[in-house]
Amino acid sequence: MFINRKLIAATAAIVALTFSGMASALTYQIDTGAGWVNMSSLSSAQTAAQHYGPLNTGPGYAQSDTGFMWLHTNSNNGDVAWGTLLDVNRDTTSGRARVTLQGLPGSAYISLRDDGSEPGNISGGTLNAAWNWAGCCTDGVVINGMNGEWQVDVQLTSYTGINNWYFLTGDVNAPTQIALNDTFSVRAVNSTDVPLPAPAALFAVGAVALYRRRNALA
């Protein structure tokens, strides 16, 4: 019986490419003290700085005496960024916050500063952020260059004028709020448990069947 060796080789190549694509997919996770759980980056057809712009003036995420953090993905080019927003405009309460982000990738850079030179600079993968804001205003930062694998450990060292901290996930227009402790971690890791897509699985089964039949007839 004739066995199409080229078909088997092509099938094997397709399966290999499928697994390769799976390995490069990233999963975002957060650990607030009870173990890692999956979350998602907020996605929009904007740069991270453009996305941040209207959040503190409304309608947006800003809430009085509340701190928000999130990941943002630009759906046009895949750029991933980390955002932080503190307090809300015109709520009359001032505040200050000292926050450490450790483990930022070497590609990370500050693309937006809400207020002058604050919150400082990234050095050796660490940002020791320091903010002070008046009652009229908000504060915050956008850090671009967050593509690839990384783990950022966060310490909310000290703060006044902020009563609650949340990390945002899900729908960019109506995100879910994950309550934060004073220490937590966020990471981007390669996905290893994504099921093989059905078409590729069928190709794989076919390749195995052809191989076994060839051996049986030999």
Is the residue at 89 inside a domain? Answer: yes
Strand-pairing partners, residue 156, are 99
Query: 216 in a domain, yes or no?
Result: no
Domain-embedded: residue 209:
no
Low-confidence ranges of the chain (pLDDT < 70): 1-24, 56-59, 192-218
Q: For residue 31, is it within any domain?
A: yes
Number of structural domains the chain divides into: 1
Q: Which of 51, 38, 58 is nearest to 192 (CA)?
A: 38
| Structural domain boundaries enclosing 186 | 23-190
What pLDDT does 13 receive? 45
Phi, psi of 17 (to 5 degrees): -65, -40
pLDDT, tens digit, 9 for 90 and up, residues 70-110: 999 999 999 999 999 999 888 889 999 999 999 999 999 99
74 beta partners? 44
Tokens representing 142? 């956008």
Measure the CA–CA gap between 2 and 127, rounded to whole angstroms: 64
Q: Are the C-beta atoms of residues 159 and 97 closer than 8 Å to each other?
A: yes
User: Is 14 a member of any domain?
Assistant: no
Q: What is the pLDDT of residue 179?
A: 98
Residue 113 lies in a domain: yes
- DSSP class of residue 161 equals S
Which of 93, 95, 92 is CA-nearest to residue 115?
A: 95
Would residue 215 count as lying in a domain?
no
pLDDT score recorded for residue 24: 55
The answer as to whether 154 is a domain residue is yes
